[in-house]
Chain A
Amino acid sequence: MPTKFEVNGKPVSVNVEARTTLADCLRHHLRLTGTHVGCEHGVCGACTVIVDGDAVRSCLMLAAQAEGSKVVTVEGLSNDEALTPLQASFRRHHALQCGFCTPGMITTAHALLSEEPDCDADRVREVLSGNLCRCTGYISIVEAVLDARSAYKKPNGNA
């Protein structure tokens, strides 16, 4: 079925089977393979993308349901080769090892910090509880997200 939406600021038009998830549409039809598919049933969080400002699991959404929406994937967070402050913080804190969960961690943390730049460690842990990592033990990921908060605060100091 023909479906139109926006990905990373650009309008896209795809023709997919109705059963196609947004995750598979992004990877197979739009070749945006930064979004990883781990469990395909909404448990691991690797496929997290941002739809109309909200972090969502793209394996638990049909591509057809994204009609008319603005979708942001991990590729859309940086518009050049440079790392975003959040990505740089992940690197600085060794917050990844194999990298499979990283796109979902980054998109989830980006959505969180965009809305709640003053969140505390407990809130970061709560939000990231929906993303599984089998390498790091999470401590370095939480530290990286906390360290990136300053980049999301408005210049006047208010959230």
Chain B
Amino acid sequence: MKLPPLEYACPTSLSEAVALLAAGGGEARALAGGQSLMPMLAFRVVAPALLVDLRKLPELREIEISADGVRLGAMVRWRDIEDDERLTAAHPLLKAAVAHVAHYQIRNRGTVGGSIAHADPAAEMPGIAVTCDAEIAATGAAGQRTIRAADFFLSALTTALKHDEIITEIRLPAWPAKRRWGFREFARRRGDFAMAAAALFYDQDAAGKAINAHVGMIGVGDRPCRLPEVEALLNGRTIDEATIERAAEITSATVDAQEDIHASAAYRRSLAGTMVERALRSAAA
């Protein structure tokens, strides 16, 4: 339906944007690409008095790649990640996950910061942030702070962000060239939200055994999460077929799956195991 009545502001500096949010006292919302917030407004799930558009803050649109890793400005669009050839080597897991985000038209406007702030449990970017130990930088009336992705997502559509804070960038730690990784997602139709997705990577020691395993699960619980029991299984082992099958079993047994109109909890547990199995198989291939 039509959006609720609201006011609109388009500040030209971050400090001005923060001041508008602070003055709004929880009744003001930051507007990035709008690809999640606009539907929320249309459904009247949210009805803020003021939208603070971030489109005139070009400093939030940069992708910076260095020895420290990848820094994605909050207003970087899915399209920008798709088009950035450097990311194929600098962060192949990010690139693979973003290929699953929504549809063509939405990828032209949707942003990484918007997706992180929206915190849909089935969205790819929050899942990548949690899997990769990302840091989320935010600026508010009290100044800047950095929040670990593991502490950022509290539950579905709920984050640690305060009402006057704006996400400025997402920092993904450096990606070693020889890292093994896999991403598998299942959705009924291309571009739809994941019914379950697995994002994972591991490094290898001199003997070829897995170390530093990170296994992330998307779309199964009320927020993206890591699977420590699966990571513990993988670390120190050769990723062979027996280990992959055991990892799938542990995934299905340990994930905290939720039931909704799309799938039962039992189906999701089974699907989660299958996604980890396939992602691991592609990582080990």
Distance in Å: Cβ of A20 to nearest Cβ of chain B: 8
Taking CB atoms and an 8 Å cut-off, the chain B residues in 20-43 that contact chain A are 31, 34-35, 38-39, 41-43
Which residues on the A side are within 8 Å of B43 (C-beta)? 41
Whether the pair A126, B42 counts as a contact (CB closer than 8 A) is: no
Q: Tell me, in angstroms, the Cα distance from A40 to B5 when the chains sit together.
A: 16
Which residues on the B side are within 8 Å of A67 (C-beta)? 10
Whether the pair B103, A130 counts as a contact (CB closer than 8 A) is: yes
Whether the pair B103, A129 counts as a contact (CB closer than 8 A) is: yes
Check: A73 CB closer than 8 A to any chain B CB: no
Check: A42 CB closer than 8 A to any chain B CB: yes
- Report the contact-size class of chain B (Cβ under 8 Å from the partner): 20 to 34
Check: B6 CB closer than 8 A to any chain A CB: yes
Given contacts A42-B35, A64-B10, A112-B104, 11 further A-B contacts (CB under 8 A): A41-B42, A54-B109, A55-B105, A57-B35, A57-B109, A60-B106, A61-B38, A62-B38, A129-B104, A130-B103, A130-B106
Q: List 19 A-B contacts (CB under 8 A).
A: A18-B7, A24-B2, A40-B2, A40-B42, A41-B39, A48-B105, A54-B108, A56-B109, A57-B106, A60-B34, A60-B35, A60-B38, A64-B10, A65-B31, A65-B53, A65-B55, A108-B104, A127-B104, A129-B190
Q: Give the B-binding residues of A (Cβ under 8 A).
A: 1, 17-19, 21, 24, 40-42, 45, 48, 54-57, 59-62, 64-65, 67, 108, 112, 125-127, 129-130
